[in-house]
Structure 1
Amino acid sequence: MSDRRILIKNGFIISLDPGIGDLPRGDVLIHGDRIERVAPLIEDDGAEVVDAEGTIVIPGLIDTHLHMWQQPMRGLGADLWGMNDYISRVYPLRERFRAQDMFASTYTCAIEALGNGTTTALDFCHNVLTEDHAEEALRAHRLTGQRVVFGYGMVGYADRIERERDDRLAHVSRLHAELGDDPTALVRMGLAPGTLNFSTVKGMQIEVEHGRGLGLPMTIHQNDAGELYKIHDAGLLGPDLLPAHSNNASDHELALLARCGCSISFTTEGEFSGGRNMSVVGRADRAGVSPTLGVDGPSFVAVDMLSQLRFTFRIMHAVEAQHERAEGRWPLAHSPGIPFVTARRVLEYATVNAAKALGMERHIGSLTPGKQADLVLLRIDPYGIAAGDPANHVVLHSGVGDIDAVMVAGRFRKRDGRMVDVDVERLRALSGEIRSRLTS
C-alpha cells in the first residue's frame, strides 16, 4: 500500500455507514488506497489537504448493468419503441465491431462514466465476437482507473454457442487466472451466462457452474416471464448471480430470489421508456431482494447514474401513488410504510446494495474505515445544500455538472471538475470514427 495520505476536509459527509452517519462538517483521511478515518475533525500534518468546503462527499456510485461497447452508438436508440426496435435496429450493429473498436468503445464509455461519478461498473459485455474482442475490452479497462467487473458475455450466439461454449469458458478461465482473485483489484473477471431466450437450461447450468467453480460474480438478462422459476428449479439462483431487469417477476419469484440472497439490477430509465412494468422495483425491495441500478445501453440512455437515481425515485413514487388511487385511497395521505421509497434508500441502491450484489460489500459502497477510498465530491454552491435529508440533495438536486472530484482507490480520476490525465480530443476522435463507420 502506498504511504500517500490525503485529508479531505470540511465536506458534508454522507457516509452510508450506520456507525458514522452524516457529518454536516467532516473530514475523510485516506491512506494509500483505503479510508483510514472519517470524523468531524481530523488533523494529520503529513497529509495532502483537499478543501471540500461547499461539497457533499458520498461513496462512489456503482453501476451494476452497463453495456460499454455501445458507447459509439449514442443516440441511435433515442426513438426506440419496444424491444423489437432494439433487436432489429441497434443490436445487429455489433457485428460491425472489430476487436480494436472494443478497446476504443470501452475506454471512452468508462471514462465518461467515471467523470459522471461511477467509480465501479459491471460491464456486461455481450459483444465477445472473438477472444480478441474480450482481450481488447479488458485492455481498455486496465487503463481507465475505474473499478470494473468484466462480465464476459455468453449471450447472443444462438447459432454458435453450443459448439463454442467450451472454448469460451476456457478463455474465461485463462483471463481469470491473469487477473487474479484480489477482491480489491480494479479489474476483476465476471461472467454473463446466456439466458433462456438465447440458450437452454442445460447450457446455462454449464456456464453458471463454471463461473461458480472460479468464484466469479455473474449476471444475466432476465426478460421473459417465468424464467426465474426455471432458473430456480435448476438450482442456479444464488447471491453470486445478478438478474438484470426482471420487470415481469411475480411476487412468488421475488420471494425465491430473496430466499437465495439475490439482488436485481434495475435499469429504470430504459425500462420505463420501453413500456415495461415498473412496480417490480418497490415489490422487490419490500420482498427483501436488494435493488441495484444500472444505465444499460449507452445507445439509448445517457451514461449518468445521478439521472438514474432521480428517475428511480420519481417512478417509484408515481407507481405507489397510482396503486393508492386504484385502492381508493385518494387524495394521497401518509400512513405507516407509505410512501415506501425515500431518496436515501435510492442512493443506497447505487452504493451499499450494489456493492453487496457484486460481492464487494466489505470493500466498497460506504465511507467506512478500512474500505477502498472510492468517493465523489458534489458541489452544492452557490445555493447551498437543500433542506431536509441531505440525500435528497444528491438524488433530486444534483447533476453531473456538479461533480467536482472523483476518487478511486485513493487516486483522483477527476479533480476540480476536470478529468486527470485524459486526452479529451483523443476520446472524441476514437468514438467518432467508429460512429461514422457504423452509421454509414
Structure 2
Amino acid sequence: MSTRTLLRGGTVITSARAGEVLTDTDILIGADGNIEAIGRGLDAADATVIDVSGRIVHPGFVDTHRHTWQSVVRHVASDWSLTEYLAGLHTGLSKFFRPEDTYTGNYLGALEALDSGITTLVDWSHNLATPAHADAAVQALMDTGMRAVFAHGGGAQQWGALPSTNDHPADDARRVRDQYFSSDDQLVTMALALRGPQFVVPEVNTNDFRLAKDLDLRITMHVGDGYWGKSGPIRKLKDEGLLSDKITYVHCCTLGDDELDMIAESGGTASVSPDVEMQMGHGFPATGRLLKAGIRPTFSIDVCSSNGGDMYGTMRTAIGMQRALDNAPSVDTGEVLERIGLSVTEVVRFATIDGANAAGLGHRTGSLEVGKAADIVVLDGRSLALTPMNNPIGAVVYSAHPGLVRDIFVQGKQVKKDGVLVGVDIDALRKRAEASRDYIVGEMPEAKLDGSWHPELAKKG
C-alpha cells in the first residue's frame, strides 16, 4: 500500500504569500506527512491519487483560543452578557464537570473544530479542577488526531475574588509538562493560559510568568476584554519587564493605542474573537487597530457555549465588522471611499499562517509549502455557492461553510474523507455528550436549556 498521497489538480490557496492561488496544481504528501512537492503534472506513480480538480484546497485553519470543554453546554450562553457567562458557566456550571465530562467536552469540541476545517486548535483549558481533569482534557485532544496546543489554565478556583491571590497550579502544570509534553515536536503541545495582571495581584502575576519561563512554554492570556481590560494590563507587564514574543494577547478590544504599540515592539501576537467580543461587551474587535499597530491579528472561536465553532463564520464576522468601522467616518463626512481597507486575502492569512505563528507553530503549519506539514482542507467543488470559480479566496471568506469541507489531512493523515470524519462514532459521541450535559445541568436546579435561563436573574430570584 502506498504511503504517499497525491492531490491532483486543485485550486490551491497557499497562504505562503499574500494572494497566492495556484490553479490546476498538485500537492504530493510524503510518507512523513509533510508536503514533498507542489506543482503541475507531478509524477508520483507510487502514490495514492485523489482527484481534487475543480475544488478549492487551502491550509487548515488555526483557532488561537477556544474554551473547548464548554462544548457539551453549547448555546446555553447565546443570549448572555459577560456577567451572566461568568456567573452561569465560569463559576456556575463549571464546578459540576467531572473528569469524564471534561474529556467529552474536549473530544466533542475539538472534533467539531476539525470537522469544519480547523486543523490546529489552541485549547484554553481553564476548568481543570483536579489533575484528573487535566489528564482527561489532554487525552481527548490526543484522541482526535488533530494538531492542538493544550493551554493549561487551572480552574475556576484559581480566580476567586478579584484580583486573585491564588497562584497558577504550578505542581499540576509541571506534572502535565513532564508526563505528556517532554517533547515539543509532537502533534499536541503545551502552553500556559495565564490570567494576566488585571485579574491577579502583582506577586501572583510574577509567579505565574516565572512558571512559564521555568517550563519553557508560550503564554496566552486575556487582555483588553471590556471594563477589566481598561486597567492598563500591558503597561503593567512592561513595567515589570514581562513583555515578550512568546505571548498571545486575547481580545485587546479596550487596550490603549500605546499598549498595542508595546505589544508590537515586543513581538507579541494577538487573538481576536469577534462574535463573543461583540456579544459580551468586550468592545469592538481590534482587528484594524492591531494592523495599524503592526500586529498581525489571528482568530478564535472563544466560548463555544455561546457562538458557533467554525472559522468561516468567524472570518465573515471579523471582516464585516472591520469594514463597517473603516467605512463609518465616510458616512459621517460624505467622503467617497475609493477602496475597501481590509481584503479577503488578509483575512484568510489571519486564519491560517498568522494563527500558526501565534501558536508557535508557523514553522510546521499554517501554509501550504514544501517541507511543511500536510495540514490541508479540500472543499466540495459541486456547490453552486462556489460556481463559477472566479475568486477562490473571496469564495472561502464569503461563501464557504463547514458543510463544504469534504476532505481534511493532518500531518498527511486523512482524518475526513468524502465529508465524514474517519474513525469517529458520531452516534456514540452524541449520546455521551447528551449524558454529560444532562448530568451537569441536573446539578444546578436553576439551569435551563430552552434559552430562557439568565443566571443573574435566577440568582436574584
Please say whether Structure 1 and Structure 2 have the same fold, judged by a TM-score greater than 0.5. yes
Q: Which of 256, 261, 283 pairs up with 1:277?
A: 283
Contact 2:11 2:21 in 1 (8 A): yes
Runs of 4+ aligned residues of structure 1 deviating over 6 Å after TM superposition are: none
Contact 1:201 1:231 in 2 (8 A): no
> How far off its partner does 1:55 sit?
1.3
- 1:264 aligned partner: 270
Query: Quick one: which amino acid aligns to residue 300 of structure 2?
Result: G
Contact 2:5 2:47 in 1 (8 A): yes
> How far off its partner does 1:3 sit?
7.7
Any idea what the Cα deviations from partners look like across 1:2-27, whole Å, max 9, x if unmatched? 98210001110001123993111101
SS of 2:178's equivalent in the other structure is helix
Query: Quick one: which amino acid aligns to residue 52 of structure 1?
Result: V
CA distance in 2, matches of 1:109, 1:19: 30
Any idea what the Cα deviations from partners look like across 1:241-297, whole Å, max 9, x if unmatched? 111111101111110010011111111111122244326210101211120100001
1:411 correspondence with 2:413: yes
Contact 1:27 1:38 in 2 (8 A): yes
Contact 1:154 1:194 in 2 (8 A): no
Any idea what the Cα deviations from partners look like across 1:40-62, whole Å, max 9, x if unmatched? 22110010001112311100000
Any idea what the Cα deviations from partners look like across 1:312-351, whole Å, max 9, x if unmatched? 111111111113334x143x421xxx52211110111111
Query: Quick one: which amino acid aligns to residue 101 of structure 2?
Result: D
After superposition, residues 13-412 of structure 1 pair within 5 angstroms as: 13-18=12-17, 21-31=20-30, 32-80=32-80, 82-91=81-90, 92-154=92-154, 156=156, 157-159=158-160, 162=165, 165=168, 168-180=169-181, 182-222=183-223, 223=225, 224-225=229-230, 226-278=232-284, 280-326=286-332, 328-330=333-335, 332-334=336-338, 338-383=339-384, 384-385=386-387, 389-412=391-414
SS of 1:120's equivalent in the other structure is strand
- The runs of 5 or more residues in structure 2 that have no matched partner are 443-461
Farther-moved stretch of structure 1 (49-58 vs 377-386)? 377-386
Contact 1:9 1:52 in 2 (8 A): yes
Contact 2:3 2:47 in 1 (8 A): yes
> How far off its partner does 1:197 sit?
4.1
Any idea what the Cα deviations from partners look like across 1:53-103, whole Å, max 9, x if unmatched? 2311100000001001100111110111x2111112222110000111111
Contact 1:386 1:393 in 2 (8 A): no
Contact 2:166 2:204 in 1 (8 A): no
CA distance in 2, matches of 1:155, 1:252: 32
SS of 2:429's equivalent in the other structure is helix
Farther-moved stretch of structure 1 (304-313 vs 11-20)? 11-20
Flag the 1:260–1:386 CA change in 2: closer, same or farther, 3 A.
farther
Flag the 1:100–1:271 CA change in 2: closer, same or farther, 3 A.
same
Query: Quick one: which amino acid aligns to residue 362 of structure 2?
Result: E
Flag the 1:279–1:268 CA change in 2: closer, same or farther, 3 A.
closer
Query: Quick one: which amino acid aligns to residue 178 of structure 1?
Result: Q
CA distance in 1, matches of 2:329, 2:171: 49
> How far off its partner does 1:196 sit?
3.1
Flag the 1:68–1:260 CA change in 2: closer, same or farther, 3 A.
same
CA distance in 2, matches of 1:254, 1:164: 27
Any idea what the Cα deviations from partners look like across 1:161-194, whole Å, max 9, x if unmatched? 75664xx212222222233454441111111112
Query: Quick one: which amino acid aligns to residue 137 of structure 1?
Result: A
Farther-moved stretch of structure 1 (122-131 vs 11-20)? 11-20
Q: Percent identity?
A: 28
Contact 1:246 1:264 in 2 (8 A): yes
Query: Quick one: which amino acid aligns to residue 246 of structure 1?
Result: C
SS of 1:314's equivalent in the other structure is helix
CA distance in 2, matches of 1:422, 1:402: 19
- 1:436 aligned partner: 438
1:425 correspondence with 2:440: no
Flag the 1:143–1:87 CA change in 2: closer, same or farther, 3 A.
same
CA distance in 2, matches of 1:345, 1:195: 29
CA distance in 2, matches of 1:353, 1:196: 25
Flag the 1:197–1:94 CA change in 2: closer, same or farther, 3 A.
farther
Flag the 1:163–1:311 CA change in 2: closer, same or farther, 3 A.
closer
Contact 2:264 2:295 in 1 (8 A): yes
TM-score (norm 1): 0.93
Contact 2:251 2:285 in 1 (8 A): no
CA distance in 2, matches of 1:136, 1:387: 44
Contact 1:183 1:360 in 2 (8 A): no
SS of 1:129's equivalent in the other structure is coil
Flag the 1:355–1:26 CA change in 2: closer, same or farther, 3 A.
same
Flag the 1:75–1:86 CA change in 2: closer, same or farther, 3 A.
same
Query: Quick one: which amino acid aligns to residue 292 of structure 1?
Result: T
> How far off its partner does 1:142 sit?
1.6
SS of 2:365's equivalent in the other structure is coil
